[in-house]
Every structure is written in C-alpha cells, then in structure tokens.
Amino acid sequence: MLLYLRISNLAVVENLEIDFSSNMTVITGETGAGKSILLDALSLALGERADPAMIRPSCDCAEVTATFDISSLNGAILWLSDCDLSSPDPAQECVIRRILFSNGRSRAYINDKIVTTAQLRLLGAYLVQMHGQHQHQLLLNPHEHRRLVDAFGQHEEILNTVKVAAERHRKLLIQKQALQTASQNAGQLELLRYQVEELLSLDIKENEVAILSDLHQQLAHANEYRGACQEAINLLQGSESSTLSQLYHIEKLLPETGDDPNLSVAKDCIRESNILLEEVYRALKSFQDKIDCDPDKLVEVEQRLEKLFDIARKHKIDPRFLHTHVGNLVEELNTLEKSEVLLAELDNEIASALVIYQNFAKPLTRAREKAGLKLSQEITKHLQLLGMKGANLKVELIPDKAEAVSVHGLESCHFLVSTNPDHPFQPLNKVVSGGELSRISLAIQLITAQYQESPTLVFDEVDVGVGGKIGSMIGKALRELGKSVQVLCVTHLPQVAACGHHHLLVEKLQENGRTKTTLTLLKNETRIEEIARMLGGMDVTSQARANAKTLLKNELAFVS
C-alpha cells in the first residue's frame, strides 16, 4: 500500500508531504483546489508521461517521491528482485522518485537506483490501479479479464499445470524445428562429413598439442642442455680443481683428532656435502644420457605441430581443444544422419505432449465457464446496487485459434456489458462512459479483492453523474472494499466522503502573492465542517452542520 507521498514544485504545490493509512481515504476540496494534483503526482511517480508545463512557475524542476509497503505484493517483490532493484529490506518498503526538469528531461529512481520510465510503469502495475474517467483502464484489456476470472475461480494450481505442459510442448517444437532446419541443409551436412573425415584422419590424441610442445622444447634445445650438463659435470669431478677434488683436499687438511666441537661440525658438513654433490653428479649424468639429439625426430614433431595448428586455425578454435572439437563434430554428424529417426521420435513426443496439455487445459476451460458465470452474476448484482439499473455483465470465453497451445489455456475471456435490458452485449470500451467504467471496476474489485494480490486502488470521481442515494451506495461499497485493500477516492459527494475511514482536505491558498496547495487530515469537527460545505455550498449554516453530523453518524453506523 501507499505509505507516503512527497510533492515539490509541481503545479500549484510548492512542498507537500502526505502520510497515508490503510483502509479507505477520501480526498475532497473545492473545484480547482488541486485534488487532481495528488493523482497527477502519483501517476508521474509511476511512469506516466511528464510535461514540463507541470513544473511550478519560476522553478527549474519538480520532484515526486512515493513510498510503498510491498510486504503483501509478491509480484512486486519478485519483479524488483529480478531487476536487481530490491531495497535492503526487500519484503517491506519500496521507494520511487521521479524528477522532472524544465528542459523536458526527467530522471527516475527505484530504491535509489536509476531506472527508465518504462520500468516505473511495469512496477506501477503491481503497486497501483487507477480507476478514473481519463486514465488508461486496465479493465479494458482482455488479458486482465482472464486474470480476474482465474483469480475469482482460484485456478492457480491447474493454471500452473497448464503452463508447464504448454512449455514442454513449445520446447519440443523448437527442437524439431532446429533439427529440420539442419537436416534440410544438404550443403551443411556434406561440409560436416568432410570436416569429420579430415579431423579423424589426423588421429588427434587428447592433450597431444601440449605433449608435443614440451617434446619440441626438449629437442630444439638438446645440444644446449647436453653442453650445460657436461660443463657442470666437469666442474664437479674430473680434474684436481673440480669441486669434489677440492672438498677431498680440504678434508685431508683437517686434523684427524681433536676435541673442539667446531672441528667435528666442519668434518661432518664436508662429508655431507660430498654425498650430496656425488648425487648431483649422478643425476646430471643420467639426464645427459637421456637427452635426445635426433634432428629427424625434431623435424617430425615440428611437422605434426604445424598440421595441428593449421587445422585449428581452419576451424577457428584453440589447438588445445582439437580433441574435444572432433568429438563434438562427430556427435553432431551422428545426430543429423539419424535426423529421420529423431524427427519421428520427436513427432511422437509432441503428439504425447499435446494430449497431456489438452488433458489439463480442457478442465481449465470448464472451470472458467463455471467461474465466469458466477462472477458475471455477482458483478451484475453489484452494478444494480451501484445505480446502474438494467445493466448486465457477462463473461464470454472465446477459443484462441491463433495459438493451439498457450500457457494461458485454450481461450481468452472477455467482459461484455449491456447497459439497458433491450441493448445487446458489447465490449466495455464501446458502450460505457468513464463513470460507468469506474463503477463496473468497483463492482469487480469488491468481488475479487479477496482472491488476488490487490495493490492500492485509486478512484477518481467514481461518483460522477449520480445522486445522493446512489452516492451513498457507492461510498458504502468503497468502504467495504477498503477493509481488504487500500482505497484512495477523490470525490465531490458528501455521501461518499462520509464513508471514508480517513478524510483529507485539499485547499488552495494565497500567500505573499503566490498560490499554493495545502493538505489537511480532517477529524471530528473539521470533518463535519467540510461535509457541511459539500452539502450546503460556501455558506455553511447550522442546518448544514447538523445534516453533516447526521450523515456521518448514519453512514458510519450503517457500514461499520
């Protein structure tokens, strides 16, 4: 629900901060006071088109900040998570900020992360539903009709099963199409055969490039290694000046006897050094004997590496992965050569998946027919109560011929309405006015709110064109709806205003030659005064105040 709205330098609003509560909040004020500014600000925060003319005169920019409690809106929580826009406490609050600049540009933020206005609109669909005479109406979208029928009928479990079955059928079709495309390309198949034959003829071993590279390194530097080893061997042993001879001579120079520990340590170290250097000598001799100086073998290794590098460049891969590449091409060739068998198997799987899908989708159709009939009866009954005498609504299921297998099932759902008993049923957008559409939406929300994740509902003059009695019915219906979801209602009828759990008054004031809009939470006497003004006009009489008290007492007693 909407927790907080801050507006700066928007139209006649200089700086306005509003804390909102749950249940039903009514917003009233004289014509031109700026009631619509609140809704315009909220729409701006939710991604609606920004007009620089909305900026307060002599100001460079306007700003709107809206804070929402999203703890009960799983759709919004998941969307924010998927877009990496979650707040530090993602299950609690979401903060939206929109800045409009005088040059026509705007900037938008969700939880302090910059976003596009398109992202604001996507998130806004989870947070707020606007119901008014000029806003885009979600209710006119057949996809919303189907969603409402499924929410009312509590079809979530069977609908998820249908989605899984449809996705499996779709993936099998994609596999078939890919296999058909590949198998129908004779040139590609011949090229693949040639590539596999060429690669197999090379008999490429696993890790062969790495092994040959090491061997090439040894062969190419064989003489250098042999010469270095010989020089080291000569330095160790082989002449009177060699290291081992010198150590032997040093050992002979030392006295045979003596109690000094230093002498003992020196003798021990010389003996150990002799042993270690003799091991070094033997190791070098062994390495020298193993050094391969065969020039023919070096040429052979170079020629093999050249072939491997050439074929790797031809296939545009790293030479180290040639062995794996051969395996992949062989597997691909086998698949294509067996395409006829695989296509037949896929056809059987697709046919089986279609049967499974229909076994789930047909019961969903029957469930929708049942839910649609009951929903249309409930909506029609509420339309009568909301002053649309003679109006009827029915839910029509239309088979979806364009797509035989859809994640949404076999049909679309359409809300059709007849505003008079002798008029045929027609789509909503062809037969209803803005006020009627708002009341139809109210009737639907009254019935379906308990079955769906309902965001904040905003009704802009839903009572337009109706009298006191019908207004009273609308007010009571809105208050009833406010028990389940947050409802914000801009109204000019005192009967509706009297039904609100909370009452906000919008006023336009002149201060130091400048116009500004203020917002006041009305309670007790101030609320009676406002409803009295709505009943009697600018001159509030004692009789109007008495009538306001009676209206508040009667309406709230009736709906409590």
Measured between alpha carbons, how far is 227 from 429 in angstroms, rounded to an integer?
Answer: 96
Give exposure, 348-361, as e/b (b: 16+ Cβ within 10 Å).
Answer: eebeebbebbbebb
* Planar angle of CA 69, 70, 72, nearest 5 degrees: 115
Other CB atoms within 10 A of residue 284 CB: 17
**181-238 pLDDT tens trace:** 766 666 677 788 888 888 998 888 889 888 888 877 777 666 667 767 777 877 887 6
- Whole-model pTM: value is 0.63
457 DSSP β-pair partners: 129, 487
Other CB atoms within 10 A of residue 175 CB: 15
Is residue 513 within 8 Å of residue 49, measured between CB atoms?
A: no
Measured between alpha carbons, how far is 351 from 339 in angstroms, rounded to an integer?
Answer: 18
> Domains, the chain, ranges and CATH?
2-133+433-559 (3.40.50.300), 186-337 (no CATH)
pLDDT at 401 over 50: yes
Which run of H or E residues covers position 250? helix 243-253
pLDDT at 136 over 50: no
Which run of H or E residues covers position 341? helix 339-385
**280-322 pLDDT tens trace:** 888 877 777 676 666 777 788 788 888 899 989 998 989 889 9
Q: Which single residue is written with the structure tokens 């029957």? A: 366
Eight-class DSSP state of 402: S
String of DSSP letters for 493-541: -HHHHTT-SEEEEEEEEEETTEEEEEEEE--HHHHHHHHHHHHH-SS--
Where is average pLDDT lowest: 71-85, 262-276, 345-359, 545-559?
545-559
Averaging pLDDT over each range in 79-88, 179-188, 224-233, 264-273, which range is the top one?
79-88
pLDDT at 521 over 50: yes
**426-473 pLDDT tens trace:** 988 787 676 677 778 888 888 887 777 778 888 887 777 677 788 888
> Within its chain, how far is the Cα of 519 from the centroid?
36
Quick one: average pLDDT of 370-394? Answer: 91
pLDDT of residue 425: 92
Long-range contacts of range 240-246, CB-CB < 8 Å, 24 or more positions apart?
243/277, 244/274, 244/277, 244/278, 244/281
Percent of the chain with pLDDT over 90: 34
Strands 426-427 and 113-115: unpaired
- Nearest CA to 64 among 24, 123, 10? 10
Residue 131 structure tokens: 């119901």
pLDDT of residue 133: 55
Is residue 387 within 8 Å of residue 439, measured between CB atoms?
A: yes
**347-374 pLDDT tens trace:** 999 999 999 999 999 999 999 999 999 9
Beta strands in 113-206 (DSSP E): 113-115, 128-131
**Is the dihedral angle over the CA atoms 526, 527, 529, 533 positive or is it negative?**
positive
Is residue 530 within 8 Å of residue 503, measured between CB atoms?
A: yes
Which residue did the predictor score with more confidence, 167 or 423? 167
Quick one: average pLDDT of 479-486? Answer: 88
Measured between alpha carbons, how far is 249 from 244 in angstroms, rounded to an integer?
Answer: 9
pLDDT of residue 110: 95
Provide φ and ψ at 68, rounded to 5°. -120, 145
Quick one: average pLDDT of 327-356? Answer: 87
Residue 345 structure tokens: 């198997």
CA distances from 545 to 475, 497, 549 (A): 20, 14, 6
